[in-house]
A and B are shown apart, each in its own frame.
Chain A
Amino acid sequence: DVKVTQSSRYLVKRTGEKVFLECVQDMDHENMFWYRQDPGLGLRLIYFSYDVKMKEKGDIPEGYSVSREKKERFSLILESASTNQTSMYLCASSFLVRGEQFFGPGTRLTVL
């Protein structure tokens, strides 16, 4: 079974802090994705990566950056957290770019 893990289930940060969310997958998948999920807005793609050190912007990249130094690990970085970044963050991976996506358990981030 594919396993996608995220570093924290719940996280509370203060405005202006730098925040790192980490995601690790154990199935040697080429592609990894970061989404955020908000009530009424659904899931929206922030960034994705199709290979080590490669990244593409999704629908809402503003205020975020990503890092993929190793194939199994994809990090989402909030350079200066703001209250409007309070959300559920979901990581996913897939073997093919348009293949079946497998999700992690999510990180609920609250920015005060």
Chain B
Amino acid sequence: KQEVTQIPAALSVPEGENLVLNCSFTDSAIYNLQWFRQDPGKGLTSLLLIQSSQREQTSGRLNASLDKSSGRSTLYIAASQPGDSATYLCAVNPREDAGNMLTFGGGTRLMVKP
């Protein structure tokens, strides 16, 4: 059964710092991986989707990489801002022959201090 882990569970950084959030998964038979942001008490906002054949995806100050063979993805946030404070979740979709539906990590709670 796929397990998705995000370390650290919480992170506090000063404004302007570049930072990396980590996501690891146990089964490399994935179809794609999605990064989300969740503000307190709100739903999830999709940030980036990486297909299994891709190595990275970029959107603005965000860059997500995928190393399927080692079971890892990272989300790089450049020049962090207080507005980036939120919980960041990664989720893995399995290959069609390898199980069912999205498996989520526990999230990393990010606080960016002014």
Chain A residues in 8 Å Cβ range of B32: 98
In angstroms, Cα B61 to Cα A8, docked, is: 33
* A106-B46 contact, Cβ under 8 Å, with A58-B101, A98-B31, A101-B102: no
Residues 86-97 of chain B: 1 if any A CB is under 8 Å from the residue's CB, otherwise 0?
Answer: 000101011010
> In which size bucket is the chain B interface?
20 to 34
B42 CB to closest chain A CB (Å) equals 6
Of the listed stretches B19-27, B76-84, B103-111, name the one at the interface; the rest are far from the partner chain.
B103-111
Chain B binding surface, main DSSP class: strand
Q: Is A61 in the interface zone, CB < 8 Å from B?
A: no
CB of B112 closer than 8 Å to a CB of A: no
A43 on interface, CB distance cutoff 8 Å: yes
The answer to whether the Cβ of A103 comes within 8 Å of any Cβ in the partner chain is yes
B60 touches A (CB below 8 Å): no
Known: A42-B105, A42-B107, A48-B101. A100 touches B43 (CB 8 A): no
Contact B34 A101, beta carbon cutoff 8 Å: yes
Q: In the complex, which range does the number of interface residues on chain A fall in?
A: 20 to 34
Given A42, A56, A105, which contacts B43 in the complex, CB threshold below 8 Å? Answer: A105
Check B45 for interface membership: any CB of A closer than 8 A: yes
CB distance from A102 to the nearest CB of B (A): 6
B93 touches A98 (CB 8 A): yes
Name which residue of chain A comes closest to B45, CB basis: A103
Asked if A106 contacts B45 (CB within 8 A), the reply is: no
Q: Give 27 pairs: A residue, B residue, CB < 8 Å, sorted on A.
A: A33-B101, A42-B105, A43-B89, A43-B91, A43-B104, A45-B101, A48-B101, A58-B101, A90-B43, A90-B44, A92-B44, A98-B31, A98-B94, A98-B96, A100-B46, A100-B49, A101-B102, A103-B36, A103-B43, A103-B44, A103-B46, A104-B43, A105-B42, A105-B43, A106-B41, A106-B42, A108-B41
- Chain B positions within 8 Å of A, measured between CB atoms, are 31-32, 34, 36, 41-46, 49, 89, 91, 93-94, 96, 100-102, 104-107
Knowing that A101-B91, A103-B43 are A-B contacts, what are 18 other residue pairs whose CB atoms are under 8 Å apart, sorted by A's residue number? Answer: A42-B104, A42-B105, A42-B106, A43-B89, A48-B101, A56-B100, A58-B101, A90-B43, A98-B31, A98-B32, A98-B96, A100-B34, A101-B102, A103-B36, A103-B46, A104-B43, A105-B42, A106-B42
